């Protein structure tokens, strides 16, 4: 047997081992539960599968760097550090408060810390698992506790790690120049779009991460055709589906990439191209299936839960799909970059375009550059980039049952790496065009000034405008929690303090989490509940507009004391009423 035959035999053995391990992992992934033995079998299957298709030697990169490579790496490090400033600066304060979605997330994280190991989290219409296990590590072993900060730090970290992946995907995957890769990284690092969905503490930044990783390997595979790159594409695709629901559009992007690759492969007959595409597609599908395996089993066992969130956005309550709604959504999604963006205050400044004016202009120029390049000399990376950015808007466009939710900064998050690459191509083209008449250094100085303006615009939008709007729209559960803890010693403890429910007011679960007491649940809905409440009601927090119930409590508690608690946000004040015997124990009132 020759060397080729020995390699083939070894590959067959490794593939067989991976498939057997995958079957074991499948068998041990029932009941929506990760089990240690099943996880070990799953990772064994993935690792052995990758080794089987690694068509080349495992080699460490050589440490020697040429001067231009050293400069490129230094610039990349500076850009990534700049991205860290945008993602971690004042993270504890911005954004300031939790929403009900944050409470749902912390409840899931708590389940993990208490020993639950779900593959899919069914609470709150169902969510993929990645964020909850990452946050459990941050909340538990890293000591952040069940807090807003634990959620925000986890997503900020994911968003920050996406930046070097974007630079890598452009340079190593797409084969673009170092300058284009660095420009892409810079625009992503300062992007208010990416920063806002990264710092909010919800699952949103997992889609740009999955997009950058999958596109990096896909672009590389389209340029080199090596088996390992198709396998890595599939693995990135499969693991990316554990993050956020919008990542489910990535298989379509990979399918388009495979089609482009088969169509543009030179010197091969159509039959040969078809065979190559089928082989590469099978490698991608099997690799993605192995990576996705536990979640795949759950999706087949409980398709109602797995697809619920997606189906309700597309068709809930609709008699039939509407072409006019689809076209309206397409128009609104295309306008999100320059005219009118997401209206949800959690995701960003309501109505603010996704791109600042500088990046928005560069994006338009980049689209023109790509169109001209494709017309003159089509290249696979350019073709995929040009086609993929509208495809990555589909998770927002397909909200046909809820067109008011489109455009969505979070559901279009997968487009961030591609949009920033297109803007970088525009910047690079403009620079090359003006270098000749102006000279190299004046032209570069002009570009630096433009990028500096983009930085200032993004910084101002996120760190000045966004916090003010967010604070005004959200409810100040941190201040309510602090006031309850302040008066607790006078009334015998926080268990004797209640919140009187009021429509569209604070989520009392967030108050409990801010006090570090997730089990605290002291809520009144009727005045008649006061007499039978256990523990005894000794103090009540009221919405300032709830005059009727507050007066009823005064009638029930003659001589009760009350005060208005001021807020750092005008209009968010609240009122505390304390039962008479405990008023004298209060050292001071606000």
Same domain, residue pair 78 and 193: yes
Per-residue pLDDT band at 124 (split at 50, 70, 90): confident
- For 260-292, what is each residue's pLDDT tens digit? 998 877 556 777 778 888 999 999 999 999 999
Same domain, residue pair 393 and 270: yes
| Stated pTM of the model | 0.94
Average pLDDT over residues 131-141: 97
Number of domains the chain contains: 3
Sheet with strand 523-524: strands edge to edge:
523-524, 497-500, 539-542, 574-578, 561-565
**CA dist list (Å): 446 to 17, 329, 427, 438, 459:** 58, 37, 11, 10, 20
**How far is it, in rounded angstroms, from Cα 446 to Cα 455?**
14
Q: Lowest-pLDDT range, 330-339, 395-404, 416-425, 578-587?
A: 578-587
How many Cβ atoms from other residues are within 10 Å of residue 558's Cβ?
A: 7
Tell me whether residue 588 is in a domain: no
From 413, 448, 473, give the residue that closes a domain. 473
Contacts by residues 33-41 (CB-CB < 8 Å, ≥ 24 positions apart):
33/117, 33/118, 33/119, 34/117, 34/118, 34/119, 34/294, 35/117, 38/294
Tell me whether residue 62 is in a domain: no
Per-residue pLDDT band at 563 (split at 50, 70, 90): very high
Tell me whether residue 239 is in a domain: yes
**How far is it, in rounded angstroms, from Cα 254 to Cα 222?**
10
Same domain, residue pair 316 and 434: yes
Average pLDDT over residues 396-421: 94
For position 285, what pLDDT does the model report? 97
Same domain, residue pair 418 and 522: no
For position 353, what pLDDT does the model report? 98
Same domain, residue pair 511 and 536: yes
Average pLDDT over residues 342-367: 97
For position 275, what pLDDT does the model report? 85
Per-residue pLDDT band at 517 (split at 50, 70, 90): very high
Whether the per-residue pLDDT at 130 is higher than 90: the answer is yes
Same domain, residue pair 383 and 501: no
For position 320, what pLDDT does the model report? 60
Q: Lowest-pLDDT range, 16-30, 300-314, 417-431?
A: 300-314
Tell me whether residue 60 is in a domain: no
- Alpha helix stretches (DSSP H) within 1-116: 3-27, 36-52, 67-88, 100-113
Same domain, residue pair 415 and 491: no
Domain ranges, residue 161:
67-473
Same domain, residue pair 336 and 376: yes
Tell me whether residue 449 is in a domain: yes
Same domain, residue pair 31 and 125: no
From 52, 77, 92, give the residue that closes a domain. 52
Same domain, residue pair 449 and 577: no
For position 65, what pLDDT does the model report? 58
Average pLDDT over residues 419-440: 93
From 450, 473, 496, give the residue that closes a domain. 473
Same domain, residue pair 38 and 139: no
**How far is it, in rounded angstroms, from Cα 191 to Cα 563?**
43
Tell me whether residue 151 is in a domain: yes
* Residues 96 and 474 sit within 8 Å (Cβ to Cβ): yes
Tell me whether residue 545 is in a domain: yes
Tell me whether residue 57 is in a domain: no
Same domain, residue pair 449 and 484: no
Sign, CA dihedral 429-435-438-443, equals positive
For position 62, what pLDDT does the model report? 56
Mean pLDDT of the chain: 93
For position 68, what pLDDT does the model report? 67
- Cis geometry, peptide bond prior to residue 95 (ω within 30 degrees of 0): yes
């Amino acid at each position: 047997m020759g060397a080729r035959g020995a390699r083939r035999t070894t590959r067959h053995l490794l593939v067989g081992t991976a498939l057997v391990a995958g079957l074991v992992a499948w068998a041990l992934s029932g009941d929506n539960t990760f089990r240690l033995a099943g996880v070990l079998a799953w990772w064994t299957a993935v690792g052995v599968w990758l080794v089987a298709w690694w068509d080349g030697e495992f080699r460490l990169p050589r440490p020697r760097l040429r001067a231009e490579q050293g400069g490129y790496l230094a610039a990349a490090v500076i850009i990534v550090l700049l991205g860290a400033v945008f993602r971690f600066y004042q993270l504890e304060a911005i954004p300031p408060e939790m929403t009900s979605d944050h409470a749902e997330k912390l409840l899931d994280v708590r389940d993990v810390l208490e020993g639950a190991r779900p593959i899919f989290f069914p609470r709150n219409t169902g969510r993929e698992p990645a964020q909850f296990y990452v946050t459990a590590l941050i909340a538990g072993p890293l000591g952040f506790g069940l807090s807003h900060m634990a959620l925000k730090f986890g997503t900020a970290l994911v968003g920050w790690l996406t930046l070097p992946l974007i630079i890598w995907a452009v340079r190593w995957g797409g084969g673009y120049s170092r300058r284009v890769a660095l420009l892409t990284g810079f625009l992503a690092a300062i992007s208010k779009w990416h920063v806002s969905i990264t710092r909010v503490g919800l699952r949103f930044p997992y889609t740009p991460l999955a997009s950058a990783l999958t596109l990096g390997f896909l672009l590389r595979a389209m340029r080199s055709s090596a088996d390992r790159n198709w396998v890595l594409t599939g693995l990135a695709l499969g693991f990316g589906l554990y993050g956020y629901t919008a990542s489910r559009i990535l298989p379509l992007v990979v399918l388009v990439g495979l089609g482009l690759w088969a169509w543009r492969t030179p010197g091969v007959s159509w039959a040969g191209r078809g065979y190559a595409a089928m082989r590469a597609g099978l490698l991608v599908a099997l690799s993605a299936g192995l990576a996705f395996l536990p979640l795949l089993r759950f999706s087949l066992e409980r398709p109602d839960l797995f697809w619920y969130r997606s189906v309700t956005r597309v068709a809930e309550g609709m008699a039939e799909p509407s072409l006019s709604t689809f076209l309206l959504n397409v128009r609104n999604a295309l306008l999100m970059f320059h005219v009118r963006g997401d209206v949800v205050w959690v995701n960003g400044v309501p109505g603010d375009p996704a791109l600042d004016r500088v990046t928005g202009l560069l994006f338009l120029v980049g689209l023109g550059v790509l169109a001209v390049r494709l017309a003159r000399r089509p290249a696979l990376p350019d073709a995929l980039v040009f086609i993929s950015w509208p495809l990555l808007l589909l998770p927002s466009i397909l909200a046909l049952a809820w067109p008011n939710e489109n455009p969505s900064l979070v559901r279009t998050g997968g487009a961030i790496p591609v949009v920033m690459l297109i803007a970088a191509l525009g910047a690079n083209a403009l620079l090359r065009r003006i270098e000749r008449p102006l000279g190299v250094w004046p032209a570069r100085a002009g570009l630096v000034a433009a990028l500096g303006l983009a930085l200032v615009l993004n910084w101002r939008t996120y760190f000045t405008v966004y916090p003010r709007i967010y604070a005004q729209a959200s409810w100040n559960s941190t201040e309510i929690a602090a006031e309850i803890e302040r008066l607790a010693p006078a009334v015998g403890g926080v268990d004797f303090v209640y919140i009187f429910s009021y429509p569209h007011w604070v989520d009392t679960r967030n108050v409990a989490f801010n006090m570090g007491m997730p089990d605290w649940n002291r809520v009144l809905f009727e005045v008649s509940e006061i007499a039978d409440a256990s523990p005894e009601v000794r103090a009540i927090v009221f919405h300032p507009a709830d005059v009727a119930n507050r007066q009823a409590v005064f009638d029930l508690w003659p001589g009760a004391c009350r005060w208005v608690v001021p807020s750092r946000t005008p209009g968010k004040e609240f009122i505390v009423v304390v039962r008479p015997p405990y008023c004298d124990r209060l050292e001071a009132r606000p």
